[in-house]
Structure 1
Amino acid sequence: MESAVRKLFERYERFFNRSLGGDMDTDEIASLYASDFIAASPAGVMTGKNDDRLKQVMAQGYAHYRAIGTKEMRIRQIRLSEIDELHCVAHVAWTATYARKDQPDTAIDFDVHYLVQTLDGGPKVFGWVSGDEQALLRKHGIV
C-alpha cells in the first residue's frame, strides 16, 4: 500500500503544479479522489461528491492560488499511518512558494492529513484534515 499511496501524492503534486501553470485537467485531478469525501478544517466539516461541482470548485481554487502568487507546491515528506489493509492516513508535509512583488519569494510549510482508501482501482483520497490556511497566509502577508 505504501508505494501506491506515495505515487498517488506524487501525481497530486504534479497535477497541482501543472494547474498552477494554467495547464489544468480537472478529470485528472478528480481521478485522485473517491466518489465521496469529507474535509475538516477550522472553517468546519464539509462533505462532497466527486462530480462536476467538485471540478468547478477546483478550477476556482487553482485560479485563486494563481491570483495570490502561488508558484509551486512541493512535498517535503509523506508519512503513513495504516488503519487496516485498505485504509491509511497520509500525513503530507507541503511547502508552498509564493511570488511577491518587489520582495523575495515566500515559502510556507504546512501539513495536511489525507484519508486514503485502496481498492481495486488503486488508492483514492476520501477525506482530509487541514489547518487554518487563511490565517497562515495572512501571517506571512500573502493575503
Structure 2
Amino acid sequence: MEHEVQNLFERYARFFGQSLAGEMDMDEAAALYASDFIAASPAGVTSGKNDHRFRQAMEQGYAHYRAIGTKEMRIRHVRLSPIDDCHCVAHVAWTAIYARKDQDAARIDFDVHYLVQVLDGEAKVFGWVSGDEQALLKQHGIG
C-alpha cells in the first residue's frame, strides 16, 4: 500500500505544479480521486461526486491559487496511518510558496489528511480533512 500511496501523491504534486503553470489535465485530476468523496474543514463537511461539477470546481480553485500568487506547492513528507488492507490516512505535509507584491515570497507549511483507498494496485483519494486555509493565508498577508 505504501508504494501506491507514495505514487499517488507524487502524481498529485506534479499535477498541482502543472495546474499552477496553467496546464491543467482534467482527466489526470479526476484520476486522483474516487468516484465519490468527502471533505472536512472548519468551514464544514461536504460530499461530492467526481463529475463535471467537481472538475469545474477544481479549475476555479487552481485559477484562484494562481490569482493569489501561488508559485509552488511541494510535499515535505507523507506519513501513513493504515486502517485496513485497502484504506489508510495519508498525512501529507505541504509547503506552499506565494509571490507577494513588494515583499519577499511567503513560504507556508501546512498539513492535509487524506483518506485513501487502494484497489487493484491503484490508490485514489476519497476524502480529506484540512485546517482553515483562509485564516492561514490571511495570517501571511495573502489573498
TM over 0.5: yes
**Residue 93 in 1 paired to residue 96 in 2?**
no
Aligned equivalents of 1:41 and 1:68: distance in 2?
A: 20
Aligned equivalents of 2:86 and 2:10: distance in 1?
A: 19
> 1:71: how far off?
0.2
For residues 1-143 of structure 1, the aligned pairs below 5 Å read: 1-120=1-120, 122-143=122-143
> 1:27: how far off?
1.0
Aligned equivalents of 1:52 and 1:72: distance in 2?
A: 26
Superimposed CA distance per residue, residues 64-92 of structure 1 (whole angstroms, 9 cap, x where no aligned partner): 00000000000000000000000000000
Unaligned runs of 5+ in 2: none
TM value normalised by structure 1:
0.99
Aligned equivalents of 2:30 and 2:110: distance in 1?
A: 22
Stretches (4+) displaced over 2 A: none
Aligned equivalents of 2:140 and 2:3: distance in 1?
A: 34
Partner-residue secondary structure (3-state), 1:58: helix
TM value normalised by structure 2:
0.99
Aligned equivalents of 2:121 and 2:93: distance in 1?
A: 25
Aligned equivalents of 1:63 and 1:93: distance in 2?
A: 22
> 1:101: how far off?
1.2
Which is further off, 63-72 or 120-129?
Answer: 120-129
- For these two proteins, the number of residue pairs brought into alignment is 143
> 1:124: how far off?
0.4
> 1:121: how far off?
5.6
Aligned equivalents of 1:67 and 1:58: distance in 2?
A: 14
